[in-house]
Amino acid sequence: METKVVATVPLPGAAPAYAVPGALGLVIFGASGDLTARKLLPALYTLAAQDLLPRCFSVVGVARSELGQDDFRQRMRAAVESFSRLGPVREEVWERLAGTIHYLSASVEDPQGARRLRDLLARVDRACGTEGNRLFYLATPPAAYAGIVRALGAAGLASGGDGRGWARIIIEKPFGRDLESARQLNRQVLEVFREPQVYRIDHYLGKETVQNILAFRFGNSIFEPLWNRRYVDHVQIAVAEDLGEEGRGDYYDQAGALRDMVQNHLLQLLSLVGMEPPASFEAEAIRDEKVKLLRAIRPIPPDAMAERTLRGQYTAGVIGGRPIRGYREVAGVAPDSTTETYVALRLTIDNWRWAGVSVYIRTGKALPTRVTEVTIQYREPPLLLFRHADHADHEGPDRLEPNRLSLRIQPDEGIALRFGLKPPGERIRLEPVVMDFGYGEGFGRESPEAYERLLLDAMRGDSTLFIRGDEVEAAWTLVTPILEAWEASNAKAVHPYPAGSWGPEAAEELIGQDARQWVRL
């Protein structure tokens, strides 16, 4: 049984100050869609409530839906009411934001639609004083990316308004379906925009706890010297979701967990955990080190796929007393689908810091709970002085429980360190204790939503938390051979697991072959 010790810090006196961006206009393509309603407009409302939007600011929503400007504003108000983390809408804040919102019903891939957008932006510039500065957001299906980018270039919108100001473009994941399509998308985007103008967004990088991985590692002299092969036995990264795919079956059956989660979220977490210290905290210095780490991950050879990779698919089960249909019963999913809803991988990193240290990653749908966690498990002491001691929680005749450092990304954001101590009493024995720091309790305030931070950074021109083109290609270089090997194998290689379990039994075998086990989440 573990004893928990709660660590706290003094409450800060004031919220951190963020620089307010300069004048700009935000153009959202796919403005009538789910992402705009659930994430983008609520994030803009929160920024407005905190006085973090520019004084000269406009939002132009673009979509094919036939909506009037007032209709669009009413929809966005309802979205903010439903999804804002700030609770009931404050009318004075909403009215201030609503006055900046415009709507254009058009297909921008059509040259006439692109010209209409150009003319509207020119009028908005004059009325709102946005100075020709434009931030384009592609909140559309990926199939529309290339056409919108070409249209922006043809309309002269890729370099700011009237030859002045600046232009940036935010591209949502997925960035391709494999290495070749990612390279093609990069080529298409870079024919119109320069790399510094391109902001590839992964919302995981906007989470405060993900950003704190760097602060924790490089800002504390206690831990960074222990962050290497000499002291670390292995690393685990887990992203568990307690929902199935109801409502997204059409999309997910064409994607799967490897494309949807591993290629972006999990490899981004691994790059931050494993990267070398950057020369500075400038965007390019950090992204350079992330790319180096991704390129150092050893590709999995075809003859080792069965030992180092595993895919699963959930069947009917129960989560929290709620019955869950099997994946193949979900609308939009093929009845004989072999798409994976669970992935486990064993990776190795070929560099000086991590040589010989295994990295185990797993992610799955319809698991018992929603949690994202990174665990650093340390090596055993070289001399087991306590192996014959009276120990209540022995893991074998000569084993004590290992020291672990856990970085919880969501939902209970925090950091926990497990170590052994002797409890009061005559006997010499060790019991595990946990020193636990929670962000909410420690800092006394709620962390911002990821899209709030990422939108603000893009407005300010800070690309640190966005993904560079070579990062995307480095991740796909690792993932594409796995996809190809899986597609070449038969359906029996997809292991079933009941919804509400922690995945296929074979996942225990994948990590068990190294005499290790998954950390209990």
Q: Is residue 16 part of a domain?
A: no
Residues 338 and 481 in one domain: yes
| Residues 143/181, Cβ–Cβ less than 8 Å | no
Q: What is the pTM of this model?
A: 0.89
Compute the C-alpha angle 159/180/188, nearest 5°: 15
Residues 368 and 468 in one domain: yes
pLDDT 10s digits, 54-65 = 999 999 999 988
Backbone angles phi, psi at 370, to 5 degrees: -100, 120
**Final residue belonging to a domain, choices 172, 192, 219:** 172
Q: Which residues partner with 419 through β-bridges?
A: 433
Range of the domain at 362: 205-512
Q: Is residue 346 part of a domain?
A: yes
- Which range has the worst mean pLDDT, 233-247, 391-405, 469-483? 391-405
Average pLDDT, the chain: 88
**Final residue belonging to a domain, choices 152, 172, 192:** 172
pLDDT 10s digits, 205-214 = 888 788 889 8
pLDDT of residue 250: 81
User: What's the whole-number mean pLDDT along residues 96-123?
Assistant: 90
H helical segments located in 194-282: 208-218, 249-255, 257, 267-274
User: What's the whole-number mean pLDDT along residues 194-203?
Assistant: 94
Residues 160 and 233 in one domain: no
> Which of 475, 479, 489, 449 minimizes the C-alpha distance to 290?
475
Q: Is residue 182 part of a domain?
A: no
pLDDT of residue 162: 64
Q: Is residue 180 part of a domain?
A: no
Compute the C-alpha angle 210/207/274, nearest 5°: 20
Residues 105 and 250 in one domain: no
CATH number of the domain to which 67 belongs: 3.40.50.720
Q: Is residue 391 part of a domain?
A: yes
Query: Which residue, chain included where needed, has tokens 């700011």?
Result: 160
* pLDDT at position 460 over 70: yes
Residues 307 and 432 in one domain: yes
Q: Is residue 464 part of a domain?
A: yes
| Residues 334/210, Cβ–Cβ less than 8 Å | no
Residues 356 and 483 in one domain: yes
pLDDT of residue 76: 94
pLDDT winner (highest mean) among 127-136, 351-360, 421-430: 351-360
Residues 153 and 225 in one domain: no
Question: Rounded to an integer, what distance in angstroms lies between the CA atom of residue 409 and that of residue 12?
Answer: 22
| Residues 28/59, Cβ–Cβ less than 8 Å | yes
| Residues 326/201, Cβ–Cβ less than 8 Å | no
- Which range has the worst mean pLDDT, 216-220, 271-275, 311-315, 426-430? 426-430
pLDDT of residue 16: 44
pLDDT 10s digits, 476-513 = 999 999 999 998 886 568 999 999 999 999 999 999 99
Q: Which residues are catalytic, by number?
A: 265
pLDDT of residue 96: 93
Q: Is residue 12 part of a domain?
A: no
- C-alpha distances in Å from residue 201, one per residue of 33, 114, 453: 17, 24, 11
Residues 370 and 433 in one domain: yes
- Which range has the worst mean pLDDT, 6-20, 79-93, 225-239? 6-20
Residues 45 and 165 in one domain: yes
Q: Is residue 9 part of a domain?
A: no
- Percent of the chain at pLDDT > 70 equals 91
Question: Rounded to an integer, what distance in angstroms lies between the CA atom of residue 362 and that of residue 291?
Answer: 21
* pLDDT at position 266 over 80: yes
User: What's the whole-number mean pLDDT along residues 419-428?
Assistant: 74
Domain total of the chain: 2
- Percent of the chain at pLDDT > 90 equals 63
User: What's the whole-number mean pLDDT along residues 114-138?
Assistant: 92
**Final residue belonging to a domain, choices 172, 189, 213:** 172
* pLDDT at position 302 over 80: yes
> Which of 44, 479, 64 minimizes the C-alpha distance to 300?
479
| 3-state SS, one letter per residue, for 276-337 | CCCCCCCHHHHHHHHHHHHHHECCCCHHHHHHHEEEEEEECEEECCEEECCHHHCCCCCCCC
pLDDT of residue 94: 94
User: What's the whole-number mean pLDDT along residues 45-50?
Assistant: 94
Mode of pairing for the β-strands spanning 309-315 and 317-319: unpaired
Residues 409 and 336 in one domain: yes
Confidence at 346, pLDDT banded by 50, 70, 90: very high
pLDDT winner (highest mean) among 14-23, 280-289, 357-366: 357-366
Contacts made by residues 323-328, CB under 8 angstroms, sequence distance 24+? 324/244, 324/366, 324/499, 324/500, 325/244, 325/246, 326/499, 327/244, 327/245, 327/365, 327/366
CATH number of the domain to which 360 belongs: 3.30.360.10
pLDDT of residue 351: 96
Residues 84 and 211 in one domain: no
pLDDT 10s digits, 399-416 = 567 899 999 998 888 899
User: What's the whole-number mean pLDDT along residues 361-384?
Assistant: 89
pLDDT of residue 387: 57
* pLDDT at position 391 over 60: no
pLDDT of residue 424: 78
Residues 272 and 167 in one domain: no
* pLDDT at position 3 over 70: no
